[in-house]
A and B are shown apart, each in its own frame.
Chain A
């Protein structure tokens, strides 16, 4: 079966073997001895040391990258889904709060706040910037995942995947079309207001249904390593945006409470801040858990 070269295994290792020190510890613990033996075997059979050394250095770089890839692959599927749900809940609440911030505070209140706390950023614009950043990262990842899932689904004839991917698009289009109709017809009436609230609740249900459809696609599809890497980067970007937006909202709220003569009811700000903090915390924990999962050393007999 195996052509084992002669020569005692206890001879000192050739110098390229020392480069094993730059491999990830877990990788070295699993494969180090075998690679060391292979370097010895190849050296005994006339392989030049310098090309082997260069190959080992390239292998070390790939091993570090592969470690990260494993962290951001199948193992992180659930973490990615947790970040997605947290982000959706966060974005829904932040959009509503941001919309209100666009109206409040009034110009005099904003002036009073700016004089009392000149270093406190305008929460509305921080939320807007963080939101745009998070949505852009989500859009890039969604496109990459959709293309990969679509390609694999077409190859395997899994048409259900296409149906699930169409859910967010159809719900989004229907909701936007309905909103336009709602705003475009005649004067405001109480009946119309009730319908608007019901429509808003339907929109929230639509967001939940769309997210669940995306989660089902993520759970049931195969994705390439590069797709998982992009997903990991997008999840990290979104989590960072959530953290910045939460911090900005908390800082802004505290500044309002401590500087305005009549800051108004704090309930809305407190509830929004709590939801933002909890969803951000969940996303951070999911990301930290992903990085803590060192690749398991494969069991060998």
Chain B
């Protein structure tokens, strides 16, 4: 599955425990400064659920929480490690860049 930004944000948000739609939107806004709309958020949730990287839990007051699965956690870790390498390389190269 393609690691789009909403997919990464949702997996990252679920990494510290299950959340329902609104809690996810608030958490993502808090840690990433990104406001995910309902269509984008549930688009990511449906793709992740279809892939088996998250799973739905029983609804609480009609709001259904989702939790990350072991496969989802592993995929997120792999993606973030690769992103970290790219970020570290980019930052190091920017520091080496001669200033004009």
Contact = CB atoms under 8 A, between A and B. Distances in A.
Interface stretch (A1-9, A109-117, A189-197, A239-247): A1-9
Given A2-B60, A30-B46, A300-B64, A56 B20 contact: no
Interface residues of A, number: 38
Interface in A6-28: 9, 16, 27
Contact of B43 (A30, A66, A225, A301): A66
Interface residues of B, number: 33
A198 interface: no
B23 A2 contact: yes
B70 interface: no
A270 interface: no
A38 B42 contact: yes
Given A9-B62, A63-B46, A4 B39 contact: no
Contacts of B23: 1-4
A33 interface: yes
B37 A35 contact: no
Contact of A62 (B17, B39, B64, B65): B39
B42 A5 contact: no
Contact of A4 (B2, B37, B61): B61
A39 interface: yes
Nearest to B60: A2
Most buried by B among A1, A57, A298: A1
Contact of B49 (A57, A60, A298): A298
A58 B37 CA distance: 10
Contact of B65 (A1, A16, A37, A59): A1
B98 interface: no
Interface string B16-35: 01111111011000000001
B38 to A, nearest CB: 5
A41 B37 contact: no
Interface string B45-60: 1110110000011101
B84 interface: no
A16 B42 CA distance: 15
B19 A31 contact: no
Most buried by A among B39, B40, B65: B39
- Report the 6 A-B pairs with minimum CB-CB distance, sorted nearest first: A59-B39, A55-B37, A38-B21, A41-B22, A300-B56, A2-B23
Interface of A: 1-5, 9, 16, 27, 30-31, 33-35, 37-39, 41-42, 47, 51-52, 54-60, 62-63, 66, 70, 224-225, 295, 298, 300-301
Given A33-B62, A35-B42, 7 more contacts: A1-B17, A2-B20, A37-B22, A38-B21, A41-B21, A42-B25, A225-B2
